[in-house]
Amino acid sequence: MPRLSGVVVVVTGASSGLGWHLALGAARRGARVVAVARRLERLEALEAAIGAAGCPAPLVVQADIGDLAQVESLGRRVEEECGGAQVLINNAGRGAHGRLEDLPAGVVDRVLATNLGGALHCTRVFLPQLKRHRPGHLVFVSSVLGELPAAEHAVYCATKFALNGLAESLDCELQGSGVGVTLVEPGLVDTEFALVSGRPPGRFSRLPASGADQVAERILRAVEGGRFRLIPDRLAWVGIAFRRHFPRSARLFFRAAFRRLLRESQLKVR
């Protein structure tokens, strides 16, 4: 996928954070962006920002990607109004902070339905379009927590580990189909994510967070360069390499680190 100019790029979760900057960055490269999320007023603000930058007008679609019927309808609209997609960026996602037994079942279901179900629905619906318009490209925005554990983020971690399996398997399955795959594993990014997840303010505050605009730019460059795996920040890269090469030591390290973190947060609650 050497250039995004003139290409139809579907971005899920385009109403804020990484997705907003992915949509804006793709539009600035001359792509026809299909911006998808549930909050229509945010999508309309994105549409205005894209217009103000003098870029091609996006197609804005309000949809919940966890709902297959809505994703199928999205697929039909992209076909009818844009002639089909060439790039799908599976970016929409949410977290849920808390011990597994304390999380309401509805929250667990929503995290699974969005992070994993949504990516599966969108990929299945758009793959035929990407193949028809090849070279096509599929992007999965996973997380450093697609390879590392995190206490009080077990459900989120489970979905991101699953997303990694999906991306790596499709990378094998789609060989020769003209559709490339990029798997992105960001560390902390400065977005609304923590707020939506209910993560306590200050948790992980000692760790550096990347700017969403910078991470989005690196993702778009990875798509253009046909790169499979992108770990945009150095600390995430070090953590992942440590766990891959020294799994036993990494397990001990993460257990100790989270024991300390949980103890500190309990002390704060008292």
- Give, in order, the Cα–Cα distances in Å from 266 to each of 19, 103, 253, 258: 34, 17, 20, 12
What span, in angstroms and rounded, lies between the C-alpha atoms of 153 and 103?
Answer: 10
Candidates 65, 88, 166, 179; binder of ligand NAP (CB under 6 A) is: 65
Other Cβ atoms closer than 10 A to 120 = 18
What span, in angstroms and rounded, lies between the C-alpha atoms of 157 and 241?
Answer: 17
* Of residues 78-107, those binding ligand NAP (CB under 6 A): 91-94
Is residue 196 close enough to count as binding ligand NAP by CB under 6 A?
A: yes
Q: Minimal distance in Å, beta carbon 252 to ligand NAP?
A: 24
Nearer to ligand NAP, 207 or 252 (CB): 207
Candidates 37, 55, 179, 219; binder of ligand NAP (CB under 6 A) is: 37
What is the identity of the amino acid at 250? A
15 belongs to the catalytic site: no
**3 state SS of 256:** helix
Candidates 136, 186, 232, 239; binder of ligand NAP (CB under 6 A) is: 186
Candidates 166, 193, 239, 240; binder of ligand NAP (CB under 6 A) is: 193
Q: Minimal distance in Å, beta carbon 164 to ligand NAP?
A: 12
Nearer to ligand NAP, 177 or 214 (CB): 214
What span, in angstroms and rounded, lies between the C-alpha atoms of 91 and 192?
Answer: 14
Nearer to ligand NAP, 114 or 129 (CB): 114
User: Which one of the spans 44-52, 170-178, 189-197, 260-268 is the region binding ligand NAP (CB under 6 A)?
Assistant: 189-197
Contact 108, 155 (CB under 8 A): yes
Pairing of strands 8-12, 87-90: parallel
Please name the residue ranges forming H helices in the chain.
17-28, 40-52, 68-82, 105-111, 119-132, 154-173, 193-197, 212-224, 234-245, 247-269
User: Which one of the spans 75-83, 121-129, 130-138, 185-193 is the region binding ligand NAP (CB under 6 A)?
Assistant: 185-193
Token pair 């290409």 is found at: 7
Active-site annotation holder among 20, 126, 140, 156: 156
- Give, in order, the Cα–Cα distances in Å from 108 to each of 38, 102, 116, 214: 19, 10, 12, 30
**3 state SS of 80:** helix
Candidates 87, 189, 220, 250; binder of ligand NAP (CB under 6 A) is: 189
What span, in angstroms and rounded, lies between the C-alpha atoms of 120 and 241?
Answer: 27
Applying CB under 6 A, the site for ligand NAP has a residue count of 29
Candidates 29, 32, 42, 243; binder of ligand NAP (CB under 6 A) is: 42
Candidates 114, 129, 164, 182; binder of ligand NAP (CB under 6 A) is: 114
Q: Minimal distance in Å, beta carbon 179 to ligand NAP?
A: 21
Nearer to ligand NAP, 1 or 188 (CB): 188
Chain centroid to Cα 99, Å, comes to 23
- Residues marked active site are found at 156
Q: Which residues bind ligand NAP (CB under 6 A)?
A: 12-13, 15-19, 37-39, 42, 64-66, 91-94, 114, 118, 141, 143, 186, 188-189, 191-193, 196
